[in-house]
């Protein structure tokens, strides 16, 4: 099988290219707004009426005509949030007490803040020297949105800000895309499942659980398949199962070891490989490709092809490698499969808290802790024992990116940080 090892940038571009090409999920579900957090919109949310629906006062104060400021004004009434002014339109030399969120009475064109006024025997005076523009402290009807305006596009993830918009339009339910189904397959003869007491040379399968959490966090439905031993039979069975899902994420078995059979077995399932390695550390042996999606038969490998693809990632088994590769490569593709219209991994910049040695031929992603203060954002690389060190990884909250080829990075220097 031909190796295809890409630079980090090329590998990411390859994933993003495929992410750009996947069709949005066809299945659409209706969910209650109260259950919509993290879901991806399948139908745009449009303004159900003008926003604001009336000329809205943004201050507690007095509604008046801006041109009247200067003279004494007669207070003719009061209007609070939730009610329309029912009296005569405001006339010259008049003012109406108004509260934040109340509709501006007809005839008024501005609101003066209560803090800038004085009242004596029903007569209002505005602070000497203060002028008011027409429109001041008022948001006119429709200024935020016109009825029918698109407020949230298809593909937007519902977070608190989006939920506020949907609620402000009265949406009790939303149409969202069905979650993509992601099969998670841990491979390795040394692995035991939680609940089984490991022998001296065995370890718990932690990757499946971390991957399931990551998948759910990106809006996927995570299915943990049984651990695959490093045998052709076991892998074949798992690939047959996994190729019925939308995405298959394998961990382990992609390095150069004698028992690393994952790529070989994927090839037997007619896999198309987009890359078989990336110049990153941790995570260099990462594999990305797709195989014909099967379905509906007892032995999917021999079953009819639906014309669809199951994308797969073969992630190195070291837990930090697994997680870094998820954030860099799996997450963008998964977001696309979930129907999201924004998929790229998120990098920010921060200042290094310490000197760090570079000089690697690969782009490094080191577990690090980002500390964000009011006037600075710094990142400190955490001490670790290498890519098997799950505990060190959990002491950090991000990954410090050290580009390939640079000799040294000095304290105070700005570096990129991969958020997680
Ligand atoms: P591999 O990529 O299969 O060569 O595995 C690399 C390292 O990661 C080995 O030390 C494995 O024991 C470890 N490893 C592989 N799979 C898992 C897993 N599912 N959970 C925890 N550690 C794993
Ligand atoms: Mg292994």
Tell me: pLDDT of 249 over 60.
yes
Q: Which ligand is nearest to the CA of 287?
A: 1
Tell me: pLDDT of 300 over 80.
no
257 Cα nearest atom in ligand 1: 4
Average pLDDT, the chain: 95
| Beta-strand relationship, 347-352 and 305-315 | unpaired
pLDDT digits (tens, 9 = 90+) for 153-199: 999 999 999 999 999 999 999 999 999 999 999 999 999 999 999 99
pLDDT score, position 299? 53
207 in contact with ligand 1, CB cutoff 6 A:
yes
Contact between 380 and 371 (Cβ < 8 Å): yes
251 in contact with ligand 1, CB cutoff 6 A:
yes
pLDDT digits (tens, 9 = 90+) for 105-145: 999 999 999 999 999 999 999 999 999 999 999 999 999 99
319 in contact with ligand 1, CB cutoff 6 A:
yes
Strands (E), 66-213: 73-79, 94-98, 110-113, 117-120, 123-126, 138-139, 150-152, 173-177, 181-186, 191-192, 203-204
Mutate to test the pocket of ligand 1, among 317, 320, 394 (most ligand atoms within 8 A of CB): 317
219 in contact with ligand 1, CB cutoff 6 A:
no
- Tell how far the Cα of 319 is from the centroid of ligand 1, in angstroms: 7
pLDDT score, position 384? 96
Torsion of Cα atoms, 348 then 354 then 357 then 358, to 10°: 10
Distance between CA atoms of residues 326 and 290, nearest Å: 16
| pLDDT band at residue 352 using 50, 70 and 90 as cut-offs | very high
- Tell how far the Cα of 284 is from the centroid of ligand 2, in angstroms: 15
Tell me: pLDDT of 298 over 50.
no
Mutate to test the pocket of ligand 1, among 185, 186, 188, 391 (most ligand atoms within 8 A of CB): 188
pLDDT score, position 294? 82
pLDDT score, position 302? 65
Beta-carbon contacts of 1 under 8 Å, excluding residues fewer than 6 positions away, are 263, 264, 267, 273, 276
Cis peptide before 144 (omega within 30 of 0): no
pLDDT digits (tens, 9 = 90+) for 304-331: 787 889 999 999 999 999 999 999 999 9
254 Cα nearest atom in ligand 1: 2
Give the pTM: 0.93
pLDDT score, position 295? 73
Distance between CA atoms of residues 358 and 362, nearest Å: 10
Reading the block at residue 381, the tokens are 């690389």
Tell me: pLDDT of 297 over 60.
no
| pLDDT band at residue 369 using 50, 70 and 90 as cut-offs | very high
186 in contact with ligand 1, CB cutoff 6 A:
yes
Residues 258-268: what's their mean pLDDT? 96
Mutate to test the pocket of ligand 1, among 184, 209, 226, 251 (most ligand atoms within 8 A of CB): 251
Cis peptide before 110 (omega within 30 of 0): no
| pLDDT band at residue 84 using 50, 70 and 90 as cut-offs | very high
255 in contact with ligand 1, CB cutoff 6 A:
yes
Helix/strand/coil for 118: strand
| pLDDT band at residue 301 using 50, 70 and 90 as cut-offs | low
């Amino acid at each position: 099988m031909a190796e295809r090892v890409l630079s980090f940038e090329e590998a990411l571009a390859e994933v993003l290219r495929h992410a750009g090409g996947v069709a949005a999920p066809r299945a659409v579900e209706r969910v209650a707004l109260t259950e919509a957090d993290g879901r991806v919109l399948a139908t745009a949310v449009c303004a159900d009426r003008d926003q604001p629906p009336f000329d809205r006062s943004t201050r507690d104060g007095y509604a008046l005509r801006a041109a009247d400021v200067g003279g004494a004004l007669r207070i003719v009434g009061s209007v609070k949030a939730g009610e329309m002014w029912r009296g005569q339109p405001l006339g010259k030399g008049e003012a109406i007490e108004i509260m934040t969120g109340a509709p501006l009475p007809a005839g008024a064109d501005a609101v003066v803040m209560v803090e800038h006024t004085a009242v004596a025997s029903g007569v209002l005076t505005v602070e000497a020297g203060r002028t008011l523009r027409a429109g001041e402290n008022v948001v006119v009807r429709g200024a935020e949105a016109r009825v029918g305006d698109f407020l949230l596009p298809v593909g937007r993830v519902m977070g608190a800000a989006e939920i506020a918009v949907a609620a402000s339009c009265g949406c009790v339910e939303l149409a969202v895309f069905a979650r993509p189904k992601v099969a998670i397959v841990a491979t390795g003869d040394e692995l035991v499942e939680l609940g089984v007491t490991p022998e001296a040379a065995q370890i718990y399968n932690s990757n499946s659980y971390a991957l399931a959490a990551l998948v759910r966090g990106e809006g996927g439905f995570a299915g943990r398949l049984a651990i695959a031993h490093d045998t052709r039979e076991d892998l074949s069975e798992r690939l047959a199962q996994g190729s019925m899902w939308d995405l298959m994420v394998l961990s382990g078995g992609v390095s150069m070891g004698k028992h690393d059979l994952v790529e070989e077995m994927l090839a037997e399932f007619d896999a198309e490989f987009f890359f078989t390695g990336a110049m990153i550390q941790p995570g260099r042996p990462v594999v990305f490709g797709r195989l014909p999606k099967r379905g509906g038969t007892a032995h999917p490998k021999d079953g009819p092809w639906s014309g669809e693809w199951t994308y797969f990632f073969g992630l190195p088994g070291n837990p930090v490698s697994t997680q870094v590769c998820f954030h860099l490569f799996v997450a963008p593709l998964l977001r696309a499969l979930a129907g999201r219209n924004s998929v790229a991994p998120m990098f920010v910049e921060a200042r290094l808290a310490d000197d760090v040695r570079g000089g690697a031929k690969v782009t490094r992603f080191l577990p690090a802790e980002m500390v964000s203060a009011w006037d600075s954002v710094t990142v400190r690389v955490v001490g670790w024992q290498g890519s098997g060190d799950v505990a060190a990884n959990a002491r950090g909250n991000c990954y410090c990116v050290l580009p390939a080829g640079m000799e040294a990075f000095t304290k105070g220097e700005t570096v990129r940080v991969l958020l997680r």
